[in-house]
Amino acid sequence: MEVSVPYHPGISGIEQLQRRFPHLRWLPIPALRTYAAGRPGREHHDELRALGIAAARGQIVALVEDHGRPDAHWCANLVKAHQRGYDGVGGAIENGIDRSLNWAVYFCDFGAYQNPVRAGETAMISDANASYKREVLERIRDIWRDGFHQVVVNEAIRRGGGRLGLFPDIVVRQYREGLKFGEALAERYVWGRSFAASRCRWIGRGERILRAALAPLLPAVLTARMAAAVLRKGRLRRQFAAALPLILLLEMSWSLGELTGYVSGVPFRADLCYSDYIRGAAIASGRGANGRKTA
């Protein structure tokens, strides 16, 4: 197994980590197009993922984040799941820090991946705990070459006839130490706008307008959906109740970000539009943009 760490050289503490983990493959990326020092953003995360995937050499390429800790059997269970014929495989995500703000951020980000998750085919897997067959990623390289956006990549795979699987025994735990409320609030806005911008790649103008109009309802809808999931799964009810006020504030920030993203319609690259997305998805399915079979 190869572990690659793409990173921006300007972050602090990297030298200590390199000395502690010399066996890892460290990939400094100084020239990030999307990195804006001192400003909140997540686009450079997606760019780093794309560069890391391009440099990886394994038949299965898996993704985790710097604050994610896979459990002891993560690799073995991941490989076993891929043997069932899935093109992409994801797993459960749990919170590792018992603090109200951490729980609030966890439920907002990963509540849908709280165990127990239903094993089997799914429409979406999180890039905080995801893996893909190399050959599948190569077929849609144009989709993720400049930035790996999970919504776009997962949709391209499914539109190309591929299958995504989700399994409860592929577990990653989130340890976000030193998390601050102001930073979390800004992060929700940026990520909400990022999510909407990704969607703008394949939805039409009418749907964009509709989603923008409905964005103010998102805090209530998303929080109700989280509550229903917590009740259904029968776990973490006390933690959810304690974090509920923070969850509502974070989701308000997210909804404002989504609204801005749909109204502006700005994708991650100005020259990547809806027709480019369809072309990439068609290539993934082995068909040209006109629907004809390709080599």
Provide the pLDDT for residue 263. Answer: 87
Angle between helices 274-284 and 150-159 (to 10 degrees): 50
Provide the pLDDT for residue 96. Answer: 96
Cα separation, 69 vs 162, whole angstroms = 28
Tell me the average pLDDT of the chain. Answer: 85
In this predicted model, what pLDDT tens digit does every residue of 95-143 receive, in sequence order?
999 999 999 999 999 999 999 999 999 999 999 999 999 999 999 999 9
Q: Would you place residue 265 in the very low, low, confident or very high pLDDT band (cuts 50, 70, 90)?
A: low
Among 40-49, 67-76, 178-187, the minimum mean pLDDT is found in 40-49
**Can you give the pTM of this predicted structure?**
0.81
E strands, 151-224, where?
A: 164-174
Res 163 pLDDT > 80: yes
Res 153 pLDDT > 90: yes
* Structure tokens given for 183: 């930073």
Nearest to 203 by CA among 144, 278, 147, 140: 278
Judged by DSSP in three states, 122 sits in strand
Cα separation, 101 vs 252, whole angstroms = 15
Res 272 pLDDT > 70: no
* Structure tokens given for 50: 């794309």
Q: For strand 129-133 and strand 60-64, is the pairing parallel, antiparallel, or unpaired?
A: antiparallel
Res 148 pLDDT > 50: yes
Residue 110, sorted as left (phi over 0), alpha (psi -120 to 50) or beta, turns out to be alpha
- DSSP single-letter state for residue 94: E
Q: Would you place residue 285 in the very low, low, confident or very high pLDDT band (cuts 50, 70, 90)?
A: very low
Provide the pLDDT for residue 89. Answer: 98
Q: Are 226 and 75 in contact (CB under 8 A)?
A: no
User: For the CA atoms of the chain, what is the radius of gyration?
Assistant: 19
Q: Are 287 and 160 in contact (CB under 8 A)?
A: no
Among 34-38, 242-246, 260-264, the minimum mean pLDDT is found in 34-38
Torsion angle, alpha carbons of 50, 56, 58, 63, to 10: -50
Write down the H helix ranges in the chain.
Answer: 14-20, 43-55, 74-82, 100-110, 134-139, 141-144, 150-159, 181-199, 205-214, 218-233, 237-264, 274-284
* Structure tokens given for 180: 């601050």
The H helix count followed by the E strand count for the chain is: 12, 8
In this predicted model, what pLDDT tens digit does every residue of 60-95 receive, in sequence order?
999 999 899 999 999 999 999 999 999 999 999 999
Provide the pLDDT for residue 279. Answer: 31
What's the average model confidence in pLDDT over 236-255?
Answer: 96
Q: What share of the chain is helix, strand, coil (3-state, %, to 5)?
A: 50, 15, 35
Question: In a 10 Å sphere around its CB, with 0-12 CB exposed, 13-18 middle and 19+ buried, how is residue 74 labelled?
Answer: buried
Provide the pLDDT for residue 124. Answer: 93
Sign of CA dihedral 42, 44, 47, 52: negative
Report the share of the chain in percent with pLDDT over 70: 86
Provide the pLDDT for residue 273. Answer: 30
Cα separation, 151 vs 129, whole angstroms = 14
- DSSP single-letter state for residue 119: P
